[in-house]
Structure 1
Amino acid sequence: MMPGQISAADGKNVLSVGAGIITSVWQPGSFVDVDDAKDAMRAVAQISGGIPMPMLSEMTDVEISAAARYEFAQTTGVLAIAVLGSSTVDRVVAAAMSRHTRYPHEFFTSRDEAMAWLHNFISGRGEPGGYGDGISALA
C-alpha cells in the first residue's frame, strides 16, 4: 500500500488509504468519462498495492458516462464501495452504477454510516446484511 495521496483523471479524483479503506473523492461538478474511470482504477491498484480493499467514493454532483459506469462496475480492485452523496441526483447516479457491479455497492448520505458499513468488510465478516435495493441506506 502506498502512503499519501494519488491524483487521477486529470486531477478530478484524489485517492488515499486509511484504516484499511480507500477514499476516493471526485471534484464536485466533474464529468467522468471512460478514460477517467480507467485512470481512477489504475490509481486504485497503485494506492492499494493491488490488494482489493473496501472503498468510500465521494461523488457529490458528479456526472458519469455510461461507459465509465460500466468500467467502474467491472473492477476487481475493490471489495465493496460505499458511495457518499448528498442529493437525489447523486442517489440516481449511484443506482445506475450498481447495475453491473461484481461487488457490494451501497449509497449513503452519512459518512459515519458509510464507514461503519465498509468496516464490515475489513473485519472479515464479509458482506453485511442490510439494504435490499443497494441504494437505500439514507440518513
Structure 2
Amino acid sequence: MMPGQIAAADGKNVLSISAGIIKSLWVPGSFVDVDDAKDAMCAVEEISGGTPMPMLSEMTDVEISAGARYEFAQAKGVLAIAVLGSSTVDRVIAAAMKRHTHYPHEFFTSRDAALAWLDQFTATGSQQGGHSDGLSALA
C-alpha cells in the first residue's frame, strides 16, 4: 500500500486523497455488507481528518447489500459523490444508492467526466452546480 492510502472493509476498499477529492477504489467482484460500509465510512473520516470532501468511488462489478447502500447514503463525510462504473448493473446499483442520499450523487462511466463534475465541490471549484435530481447523468 502506498503512503497516504487507507485500507478498509477487510482490504476490499482503498482510499486516498488527490487534488481535494477522496478516491475510493473497491476491489472488483467484492460483496459489500453493512459492516464493510461502516468501516469504509470510518476510513473516510480518518483520511479526510473529519472535513467533508467530494469523493470518487470506483465500484465496478461490486455487489452492495441494501443495508450497505443505506449506510453509504447516510454518510456525513462527503460533500458529493461520483460513482464510477462500467456496466448497466453498476448504473442500477448507483441509482438505488441515490434514493436516500443527502448530498449530490451522480453515476459516470468516464473518470475524466466524474472528476470534472467533482471539481465544482473542491476548494478550487465553484462549490455550485450538480444535478438536483441526481439522475441526470444517468440519461
TM range (shorter): over 0.9
Match of 1:128? 129
1:88 is matched by which residue type in structure 2? T
CA distance in 1, matches of 2:138, 2:110: 7
- Given that 1:94 and 1:135 are in contact with CA atoms closer than 8 Å, whether structure 2 keeps it comes out as no
Residue pairs, 1:82-97, within 5 angstroms: 82-97=82-97
SS of residue paired to 1:44: helix
Moved over 4 A (4+): none
Aligned residues: 136
- Given that 1:109 and 1:138 are in contact with CA atoms closer than 8 Å, whether structure 2 keeps it comes out as no
Per-residue CA deviation, residues 44-94 of structure 1 (Å, 9 max, x unaligned), is 000000000000000000000000000000011000000000000000000
SS of residue paired to 2:10: helix
CA distance in 2, matches of 1:134, 1:127: 14
SS of residue paired to 2:127: coil
RMSD: 1.6
The alpha carbon displacement at 1:128 in A equals 1.5
Per-residue CA deviation, residues 90-124 of structure 1 (Å, 9 max, x unaligned), is 00000000100010000000000000000000135
Gaps of 5+ in 2: none
TM-score by length of 1: 0.92
Match of 1:108? 108
Residue pairs, 1:47-62, within 5 angstroms: 47-62=47-62
